[in-house]
Amino acid sequence: MENPAAPTGITRRRALTATGGVLASAALAQTVAAFPAAAASQDADAIVVGHGLAGLVATAELAAAGRRVLLLDQEPEASLGGQAFWSFGGLFFVDSDEQRLMGVKDSHDLAWQDWLGAAGFDRGVGDPAGQDYWAYKWAQAYVDFASGEKRSWLSGLGVQWFPIVGWAERGGGLADGHGNSVPRFHVTWGTGPAVVEPFEKKVRAAVAAGKVSFRFRYRVDGIVTTGGAVTGVRGAILEPSSAARGKPSSRTVVGDFELHAPVVVVTSGGIGANHDLVRQNWPARLGTPPKTMITGVPAHVDGRMLAITQAAGGRIVNPDRMWHYTEGLRNYAPIWPDHGIRILPGPSSMWFDATGKRFNAPDIPGYDTLHTLKSITGSGYDYSWFVTTQKIIAKEFALSGSEQNPDLTNKNILQLLSRIWQTPEPIEKFKNNGVDFVVASTLPELVAGMNKLTGDGLIDLADLKRQIDARDREIDNPYTKDLQVMGIRNALNYPGDSLSRTAPIHKILDSSAGPLIAVRLNILTRKTLGGLQTDLSGRVLDQTGSPVPGLYAAGEVAGFGGGGVHGYRSLEGTFLGGCLFSGRQAGRAAAAATAT
Whether 377 is in a domain gets the answer yes
506 lies in the same domain as 582? no
Asked if residues 516 and 508 have their Cβ atoms less than 8 Å apart, the reply is yes
Domain-terminating residue out of 502, 524, 546? 524
- In degrees and rounded to multiples of 5, residue 35 shows phi and psi of -80, 165
| 255 sits in which H/E element | strand 253-260
Rounded mean pLDDT of 474-489?
Answer: 97
What digits encode the pLDDT tens for the residues 214-247?
999 999 999 999 999 999 999 999 999 999 999 9
DSSP letters along 307-344, please?
A: HHHHHTTPPEE-TT-EEEEEEEEE-SS-SSTTBEEEEE
Whether 289 is in a domain gets the answer no
- In degrees and rounded to multiples of 5, residue 48 shows phi and psi of -110, 125
Residue 359 has pLDDT above 80, yes or no: yes
In single-letter form, the type of residue at position 433 comes to: N
Residues counted in the chain: 596
Spatial CB neighbours of 445, under 8 Å, sequence gap ≥ 6: none
376 lies in the same domain as 514? yes
Instruction: Give the integer Cα–Cα distance in Å for 458 and 481.
Output: 28
Residue 148 DSSP label: T
The CATH number of whichever domain residue 413 belongs to comes to: 3.90.700
Whether 38 is in a domain gets the answer no
Task: Please state the domain count of the chain.
Answer: 2
Asked if residues 284 and 66 have their Cβ atoms less than 8 Å apart, the reply is no
β-pair type (69-73, 46-49): parallel
C-beta neighbour count of 304 within 10 angstroms: 18
| Residue in 298, 330, 303 with CA at minimum distance from that of residue 319 | 303
What digits encode the pLDDT tens for the residues 550-570?
999 999 999 999 999 999 999
What digits encode the pLDDT tens for the residues 133-163?
999 999 999 999 999 999 999 999 999 999 9
The CATH number of whichever domain residue 243 belongs to comes to: 3.50.50.60
Instruction: Give the integer Cα–Cα distance in Å for 432 and 338.
Output: 19
231 lies in the same domain as 151? yes
Question: What does pLDDT average to over the chain?
Answer: 93
Whether 90 is in a domain gets the answer yes
Confidence (pLDDT) at 41: 82
What digits encode the pLDDT tens for the residues 280-319?
999 999 999 999 999 999 999 999 999 999 999 999 999 9
| Residue-number span of the structural domain to which 87 is assigned | 46-259+303-321+529-594
Confidence (pLDDT) at 32: 39
Instruction: Give the integer Cα–Cα distance in Å for 58 and 534.
Output: 15
Instruction: Give the integer Cα–Cα distance in Å for 559 and 139.
Output: 11
Spatial CB neighbours of 289, under 8 Å, sequence gap ≥ 6: 278, 279, 282, 377
Residue 500 has pLDDT above 80, yes or no: yes
What digits encode the pLDDT tens for the residues 11-46?
444 444 433 333 333 333 333 334 444 445 899 999
Continuous H helices in 334-398: 369-378, 390-396
467 lies in the same domain as 582? no
364 lies in the same domain as 419? yes
Asked if residues 58 and 587 have their Cβ atoms less than 8 Å apart, the reply is yes
Instruction: Give the integer Cα–Cα distance in Å for 201 and 193.
Output: 12
Asked if residues 237 and 323 have their Cβ atoms less than 8 Å apart, the reply is no
Spatial CB neighbours of 410, under 8 Å, sequence gap ≥ 6: 7, 190
Whether 171 is in a domain gets the answer yes
Rounded mean pLDDT of 200-220?
Answer: 98
- In degrees and rounded to multiples of 5, residue 538 shows phi and psi of 85, 10
| Residue in 270, 265, 286, 166 with CA at minimum distance from that of residue 588 | 265
Whether 446 is in a domain gets the answer yes
Bridge partners of residue 539, in order along the sequence: 552
Domain-terminating residue out of 483, 509, 524? 524
506 lies in the same domain as 573? no
97 lies in the same domain as 137? yes
Asked if residues 237 and 257 have their Cβ atoms less than 8 Å apart, the reply is yes
Whether 392 is in a domain gets the answer yes
425 lies in the same domain as 543? no
Domain-terminating residue out of 481, 501, 524? 524
Whether 25 is in a domain gets the answer no
106 lies in the same domain as 119? yes
